[in-house]
């Protein structure tokens, strides 16, 4: 091959890349916060004995798990404004779409964590006379969060990567900025290589932390 890599054209585009990176981090952090909080709430709803609460929650989970994230983003960006006739900030819409998608996946992670809570702990709560909300907040949630942490963090990495999908609806995230630079400079190999390395640099520390947590949990279970 006679192609020669030349990254020098990116020197004048550092500001644009940093601005795109800022949007990507905002999307990822806000979506993860939303997914962590609402995921546990949705988990409790899906495990409820009341059918009117359980069935809609299960339908929500299956819908977001069984449809493409790209389709969800496009639907939120174009269909919701048409339905409610209200303009919503693109970044806020991106957080909503990504956050709800993550909520569904986190709900399943929390469910596995809740089911792993020893029955003896719940019996102790009853013996101590704790109310249902006290049992959920102070006993179930901490243990479920600990049990589900590796999966929750892995889901968070996935959301960071899926945030690149908002580029298709013209949200100026890192991927969108990279696409624009590649088109303007006719240097797609260099541009997308740099973008890929940035995503890799953001994801790798979290992935290593997940591995460390899993090892510690394995050691704790063997004791």
Contact assessment for residue 40 and residue 189, using Cβ atoms and an 8 Å cutoff: no
User: What domains are there in the chain, each with its CATH number?
Assistant: 24-173 (1.10.3720.10)
* Residues whose CB is less than 8 angstroms from the CB of residue 186 and which lie 6 or more positions away in sequence, other chains included: none
Residue with more model confidence, 8 or 223: 8
The whole-number pLDDT of residue 222 equals 63
Q: Kindly indicate the confidence band of residue 8, based on its pLDDT and cuts at 50, 70 and 90.
A: confident
* Residues whose CB is less than 8 angstroms from the CB of residue 109 and which lie 6 or more positions away in sequence, other chains included: 39, 148, 151, 152, 155
Contact assessment for residue 156 and residue 32, using Cβ atoms and an 8 Å cutoff: yes
Q: What is the dihedral of CA 32, 37, 39, 40, to 10 degrees?
A: 150
Give the pair of three-digit tokens for residue 74: 């496009």
Whether the predicted pLDDT of 220 surpasses 70: no
Residue with more model confidence, 222 or 87: 87
Which tens digits make up the pLDDT trace of 124-152? 888 888 888 888 888 888 888 888 999 99
Residue with more model confidence, 86 or 174: 174
Distance CA 46, CA 53 (A): 7
Tell me the average pLDDT of the chain. 89
Which tens digits make up the pLDDT trace of 207-217? 998 888 878 87
Whether the predicted pLDDT of 159 surpasses 90: yes
- Give the number of other CB atoms < 10 A from CB of residue 213: 14
Which tens digits make up the pLDDT trace of 21-67? 999 999 999 999 999 999 999 999 999 999 999 999 999 999 999 99
pTM value is 0.89
């Amino acid at each position: 091959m006679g192609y020669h890599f030349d990254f020098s054209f990116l020197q004048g585009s550092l500001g644009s890349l940093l601005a795109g990176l800022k949007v990507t981090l905002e999307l990822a952090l806000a979506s993860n916060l939303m997914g962590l909080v609402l995921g546990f709430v949705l988990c409790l709803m899906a495990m409820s004995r009341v059918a009117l609460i359980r069935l809609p929650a299960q339908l929500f989970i299956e819908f977001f798990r069984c449809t493409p994230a790209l389709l969800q983003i496009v639907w939120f960006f174009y269909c919701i404004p048409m339905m409610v006739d209200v303009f919503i900030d693109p970044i806020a819409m991106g957080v909503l779409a990504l956050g709800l998608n993550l909520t569904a996946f986190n709900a399943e992670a929390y469910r596995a964590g809740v089911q792993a809570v020893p029955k003896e702990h719940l019996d102790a709560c009853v013996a101590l006379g704790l109310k249902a909300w006290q049992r959920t907040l102070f006993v179930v949630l901490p243990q479920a969060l600990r049990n589900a942490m590796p999966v929750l963090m892995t889901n968070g990495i996935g959301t960071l990567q899926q945030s690149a999908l908002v580029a298709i609806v013209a949200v100026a995230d890192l991927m969108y900025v990279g696409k624009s630079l590649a088109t303007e400079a006719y240097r797609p190999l260099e541009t997308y290589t740099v973008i890929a390395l940035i995503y890799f640099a953001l994801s790798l520390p979290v992935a290593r932390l997940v591995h460390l947590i899993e090892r510690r949990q394995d050691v704790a279970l063997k004791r």
